[in-house]
């Protein structure tokens, strides 16, 4: 399991471990681990110049300790220090003393000419870690801007300075800065902020060193990274003696005038992910058939009985009276329901529909908002949602008694009990119309085949992203990937993982 720990949880683990260790032990381990990774990053280079940014707290202490270790090798180490020595924590002060006694050059962090005169082989960012409380400003901002222009590797200690370890948002929001690291060496445990929102862009390649802290100090995590092992129990090869009725029905509800493509994409995905029969219930006039996939069955929404089918409601639904009526019936249905797009917008606007969703608790419900839809559901702004995606997803799941899939970079899947899983697959090729419809269709198909809702949400998000990653590897994207192309790639992937892991 790839556990993710909040800042508060990391502090607790650190506190418990420090109580049983001689002082300064953890910082020495952190500094040494950082120095080792730094050496591996510059291996093979000659005339090596390492710039180490060291801030006022223990993150700066780790950096100074790393400077001391590195100074013992054949390389030039320069430290740009930003700290008031009289206010440094005890361990960091000790690390500063050790660095001062080593072959380390100290630079003035405010002196741009000093920083820029050298061609750096590597930058180590130890300005701020999990103790950063406010945006990076003043002379430090200029320093961060300079580092972000460099082409050399940038190794962040614990977390890229300026990035929130809890949320992955840049501290201070729009207009504020963070170090854009190529590598992050994180201590004690992995953190949600490195995997969602701006986290991936600013953390680069993440490795975790637990500083040899004993297992007993680690609490059960409330967050983890998505991986195949989390849904492998639902991967089952097909039995021979089966028929289309064995694999369930999906009914996609949507398709108002001018938006007929959205439910078609969801339905095509449902068929390609193994649902026995797939219907599209159009709120406006239904076409006779899909000429590319005539196996899909077209119906008028007002004449459809949902029964125990898996219902995907929302793609291209619109917000007409007609759409509202069919959504009301879908929320009353006894099968699993996946709710997306305009269905979410209507729920956001009407308490009566919210109650219906909350009262479905004994039937599976998955909601799949993007940040704007999430903002409407939580009566917030999109910026507020993006500023704390893990918390927003938790609120959605708890409030609507549903599994919430908050889409975007580092999709967050939240459960009503407060646990979250952050997805690791996917890329900006998916930032295009229709990919959300494909995701909802995929959820619907797995539910129709009897998958539990938890594994459905995890697998659908993971496969959707992974299929897009595989397509990008083949040159189909990131620019110009279409939602339709994701569909057969997901089918191939699903068959492959069932073959390899079931």
Ligand X SMILES: NC(=O)C1=CN([C@@H]2O[C@H](COP(=O)(O)OP(=O)(O)OC[C@H]3O[C@@H](n4cnc5c(N)ncnc54)[C@H](OP(=O)(O)O)[C@@H]3O)[C@@H](O)[C@H]2O)[C@@H](O)CC1
Which residues of the shown chain bind ligand X in the complex (CB under 6 A)? 14, 18, 26-27, 30, 55-60, 62, 89, 91, 128-136, 157-158, 187
Q: How far is CA 167 from the centre of its chain?
A: 10
Choose the contact partner of 298 out of ligand X, K ion, none; CB within 5 to 8 A by kind.
none
Residue 133 marked in a binding site: yes
Residue 134 marked in a binding site: yes
Q: Based on CB atoms, which residue is closest to ligand X, 109 or 366?
A: 109
Residue in 435, 439, 389, 431 with CA at minimum distance from that of residue 414: 389
Q: Based on CB atoms, which residue is closest to ligand X, 33 or 447?
A: 33
Question: In this structure, are residues 166 and 388 in contact, taking their beta carbons and an 8 Å threshold?
Answer: yes
Minimum CB separation from ligand X for residue 86, in Å?
12
Residue 125 marked in a binding site: yes
Residue in 167, 136, 112 with CA at minimum distance from that of residue 55: 136
Quick one: which segment of 96-104, 159-167, 283-291, 444-452 binds K ion (CB under 5 A)?
159-167
Minimum CB separation from ligand X for residue 337, in Å?
43
Q: How far is CA 229 from the centre of its chain?
A: 17
Q: Based on CB atoms, which residue is closest to ligand X, 61 or 410?
A: 61
Q: Based on CB atoms, which residue is closest to ligand X, 109 or 353?
A: 109
Minimum CB separation from K ion for residue 58, in Å?
11
332: Cβ–Cβ under 8 A, 6 or more apart, which residues? 356
Angle, CA of 275, 412 and 448, to the nearest 5°: 15
Is residue 157 part of the contact set for K ion (CB under 5 A)? yes
Distance CA 471, CA 235 (A): 23
Question: In this structure, are residues 341 and 254 in contact, taking their beta carbons and an 8 Å threshold?
Answer: yes
Minimum CB separation from K ion for residue 124, in Å?
9
Minimum CB separation from ligand X for residue 38, in Å?
15
Site string for K ion, 102-141 (x = CB under 5 A): -----------------------x----------------
Minimum CB separation from ligand X for residue 310, in Å?
45
Choose the contact partner of 263 out of ligand X, K ion, none; CB within 5 to 8 A by kind.
none
84: Cβ–Cβ under 8 A, 6 or more apart, which residues? 56
Residue 426 marked in a binding site: no
Q: How far is CA 477 from the centre of its chain?
A: 20
DSSP string, 89-103: -HHHHHHHHHHHTSS
3-state DSSP call for residue 206? strand
Residue 423 marked in a binding site: no
DSSP state of 48: -
Minimum CB separation from ligand X for residue 222, in Å?
20
Is residue 164 part of the contact set for K ion (CB under 5 A)? no
Question: In this structure, are residues 466 and 496 in contact, taking their beta carbons and an 8 Å threshold?
Answer: no
Q: Based on CB atoms, which residue is closest to K ion, 6 or 425?
A: 6
Q: Based on CB atoms, which residue is closest to ligand X, 7 or 397?
A: 7
348 CB burial (10 A radius; 0-12, 13-18, 19+): middle
Is residue 161 part of the contact set for K ion (CB under 5 A)? yes
Q: What phi and psi values does residue 74 have, to the nearest 5 degrees?
A: -80, 70
Distance CA 491, CA 48 (A): 49
Q: Based on CB atoms, which residue is closest to ligand X, 158 or 342?
A: 158
- Determine the size of the site formed for K ion (CB under 5 A): 4
Residue 407 marked in a binding site: yes
Question: In this structure, are residues 177 and 145 in contact, taking their beta carbons and an 8 Å threshold?
Answer: yes
Residue 60 marked in a binding site: yes
3-state DSSP call for residue 125? strand
Binding site for K ion (CB under 5 A): 125, 156-157, 161
Report the binding-site residues: 58-62, 125, 129-135, 158, 161, 262, 316, 370, 407-411, 436-437
Report the binding-site residues for (6S)-NADPHX: 58-62, 129-135, 158, 262, 316, 370, 437
Report the binding-site residues for AMP: 407-411, 436
């Amino acid at each position: 399991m790839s556990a993710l720990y909040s800042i508060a949880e990391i502090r607790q683990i650190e506190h418990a471990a420090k109580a049983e260790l001689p002082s300064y032990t953890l910082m020495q381990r952190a500094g040494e681990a950082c120095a080792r990774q730094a050496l591996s990053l510059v291996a093979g280079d000659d005339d090596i110049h390492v710039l180490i940014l060291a801030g006022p707290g223990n993150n700066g202490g780790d950096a100074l300790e790393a400077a001391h270790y590195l100074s013992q090798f054949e390389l030039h180490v320069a430290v740009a220090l930003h700290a008031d020595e009289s206010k440094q924590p005890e361990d960091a002060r000790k690390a500063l003393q050790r660095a001062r006694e080593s072959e380390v050059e100290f630079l003035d962090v405010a002196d741009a000419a000093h920083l820029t005169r050298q061609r750096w082989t590597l930058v180590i960012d130890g300005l701020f870690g999990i103790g950063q409380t406010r945006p990076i400003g003043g002379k430090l901002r200029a320093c961060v801007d300079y580092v972000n222009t460099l082409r050399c590797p940038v190794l962040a200690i614990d977390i890229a300075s300026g990035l929130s370890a809890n949320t992955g948002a840049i501290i201070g929001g729009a207009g504020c800065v963070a170090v854009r690291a190529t590598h992050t060496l994180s201590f004690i445990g992995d953190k949600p902020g490195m995997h969602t929102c701006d986290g991936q862009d600013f953390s680069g390649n993440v490795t975790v060193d637990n500083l040899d802290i004993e297992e007993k100090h680690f609490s059960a995590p409330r967050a983890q990274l998505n991986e195949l092992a989390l849904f492998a129990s639902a991967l089952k090869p097909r039995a021979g003696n089966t028929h289309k009725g064995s694999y369930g029905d999906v009914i996609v509800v949507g398709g108002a005038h001018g938006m007929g493509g959205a439910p078609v994409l969801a339905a095509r995905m449902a068929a390609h992910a193994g649902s026995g029969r797939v219907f599209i219930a159009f709120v406006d006039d239904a076409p006779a058939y899909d000429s590319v996939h005539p196996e899909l069955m077209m119906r008028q929404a007002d004449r459809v009985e949902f029964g125990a089918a898996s219902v995907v409601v929302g793609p291209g639904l619109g917000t007409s009276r007609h759409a509202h009526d069919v959504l009301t019936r879908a929320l009353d249905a006894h099968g699993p329901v996946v709710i997306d797009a305009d269905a979410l917008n209507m729920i956001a606007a009407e308490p009566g529909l919210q109650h219906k969703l909350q009262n479905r608790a004994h039937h599976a419900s998955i909601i799949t908002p993007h940040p704007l839809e999430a903002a409407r559901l939580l009566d917030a702004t999109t910026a507020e949602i993006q500023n704390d995606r893990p918390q927003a997803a938790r609120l959605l799941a708890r409030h609507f008694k549903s599994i919430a899939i908050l889409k975007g970079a580092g999709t967050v899947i939240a459960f009503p009990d407060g646990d979250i899983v952050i997805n690791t697959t996917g890329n900006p090729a998916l930032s295009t119309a229709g990919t959300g419809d494909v995701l909802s269709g995929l959820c619907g198909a797995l539910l129709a085949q009897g998958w539990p809702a938890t594994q459905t949400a995890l697998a659908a998000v993971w496969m959707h992203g992974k299929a897009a990653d595989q397509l990008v590897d083949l040159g189909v994207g990131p620019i110009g990937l279409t939602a339709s192309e994701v569909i057969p790639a997901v089918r191939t992937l699903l068959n492959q993982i069932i073959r390899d892991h079931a």
